[in-house]
Amino acid sequence: MVAIRNQDIDSFVARPDPRRPVVLVYGPDAGLVRERIEGLLKAGGADTADPFSIVTLEGDLLASDPGRLADEARTIGLFGGRRLVHVRAGSRNFAPSLEALLADPPQEALVVIEAGDLRKGAPLRKLAESSQAAAALPCYADDERSVARLVDRTFKDAGIAIEADARETLVRLLGADRLATRSELEKLVLHAGDKKRIGFDDVHAVIADSSALALDDVVDAAAAGEAEVALAAYTKARAAGIPASVALGAAIRHVSSLHRLSLRVAAGEPASRVLDDPALRIHFRRRPRFERALNRLSSGVLERSLVALGDAALAARRNAALADPIAERELLALAKGARRRA
């Protein structure tokens, strides 16, 4: 079975194994599939901007002409060099074409097959994983480790340093889709410009999903008893287009998390020790306010706050014109409760 392990895929894409001239790239992350297809073709010597340097075949056509894939792979180019064939899988099964090719693998060609999410046992995947002349590269959504590697590699290649807190925050915000991740990293590279350094404020300013950071500032400050800071952060969040209902939802989730942690504090565990739990994954910038909130707000106060925030969220949905003052009122109430306990 020749399925490349996830940690070895990047090195394989950079230097394809000539003993495996057929490579199947598949998975639900279309952006990652496309990125690896382009990487393999470039490693094979193709200019992906030049359509004449690559032979592109549609899988649906190969299903009607099973011998064509082998013929194209063995054709000698007009100017010599390695033959590069890119096959785009469609809705029709062209496994017989691939089976014929693998029975007598090409010596001077690289055949790259682009497919979507293939179940285990799917004909293309089964053939690629069972042949010594092929390799299968699965492309699933990036996890935190792979996102971190991508962040480090991108900034290293660009000669840009990234501060530790900025890197941690960036990794937390990225990863849903490889194309989107690449786009956000490219924006940060351009933003860094000549200063060649990325800090937390740069991530906050540039990343499209920095709304999550803005909401963190709102709810963290409110629960820590910092009313003025919470209102200022809420104003910025609204200016960035974040609806009042979304801010109230974030406050409900934050207070709910604090309530669960407060039960441990009520049982006698110090707040500082509760926050040391690695499963919580609290960013170190947020920790001081988390700790203040746990020291100031009892489980009973947090329960009442949850009820009040739930009522406010319902009222904001029913009367959009009053959503802003409703949200501001509840954030102030949460902050004042924490301040009184202090």
User: Do 79 and 39 sit in the same domain of this protein?
Assistant: yes
Report yes or no on 259 lying in a domain: yes
User: Do 102 and 163 sit in the same domain of this protein?
Assistant: no
Report yes or no on 143 lying in a domain: no
**Domain span at 104:** 6-138
Alpha helices in 17-121 (DSSP H): 30-43, 59-64, 68-74, 95-103
User: Do 47 and 155 sit in the same domain of this protein?
Assistant: no
User: Do 315 and 199 sit in the same domain of this protein?
Assistant: no
User: Do 244 and 122 sit in the same domain of this protein?
Assistant: no
Report yes or no on 109 lying in a domain: yes
Last residue of a domain, one of 157, 190, 206: 206
Sorted by sequence, the CB contacts under 8 Å of residue 327 that are 6+ apart come out as: 234, 244, 245, 247, 248, 312, 316
Report yes or no on 1 lying in a domain: no
In this prediction, residue 52 carries a pLDDT of: 62
Tell me, what CATH number does 174's domain have? 1.10.8.60
Report yes or no on 244 lying in a domain: yes
Q: How many residues does the chain have?
A: 342
Report d(CA 23, CA 47) in Å as an integer: 18
Tell me, what CATH number does 219's domain have? 1.20.272.10
In this prediction, residue 173 carries a pLDDT of: 78
User: Do 184 and 156 sit in the same domain of this protein?
Assistant: yes
Last residue of a domain, one of 87, 103, 138: 138
User: Do 182 and 97 sit in the same domain of this protein?
Assistant: no
In this prediction, residue 210 carries a pLDDT of: 57
In this prediction, residue 87 carries a pLDDT of: 94
Say how many CA atoms lie within 13 Å of 249 toward its Cβ. 7
Report d(CA 47, CA 66) in Å as an integer: 27
User: Do 233 and 133 sit in the same domain of this protein?
Assistant: no
Residues of the chain short of pLDDT 70, as ranges, are 1-3, 46-53, 77-81, 176, 208-212, 340-342
Last residue of a domain, one of 92, 109, 138: 138
What's the number of domains the chain is made of?
A: 3
Report yes or no on 294 lying in a domain: yes
Report yes or no on 46 lying in a domain: yes
Report yes or no on 64 lying in a domain: yes
Report d(CA 66, CA 95) in Å as an integer: 8
User: Do 24 and 134 sit in the same domain of this protein?
Assistant: yes
User: Do 220 and 304 sit in the same domain of this protein?
Assistant: yes
Q: Confirm if 254 and 217 have CB atoms less than 8 A apart.
A: no
User: Do 132 and 16 sit in the same domain of this protein?
Assistant: yes
Angle at 171 between CA 169 and CA 177, to 5 degrees: 130
Report d(CA 174, CA 143) in Å as an integer: 9
In this prediction, residue 50 carries a pLDDT of: 55
Sorted by sequence, the CB contacts under 8 Å of residue 99 that are 6+ apart come out as: 127
Tell me, what CATH number does 76's domain have? 3.40.50.300
Q: What is the pTM of this model?
A: 0.60
User: Do 28 and 122 sit in the same domain of this protein?
Assistant: yes
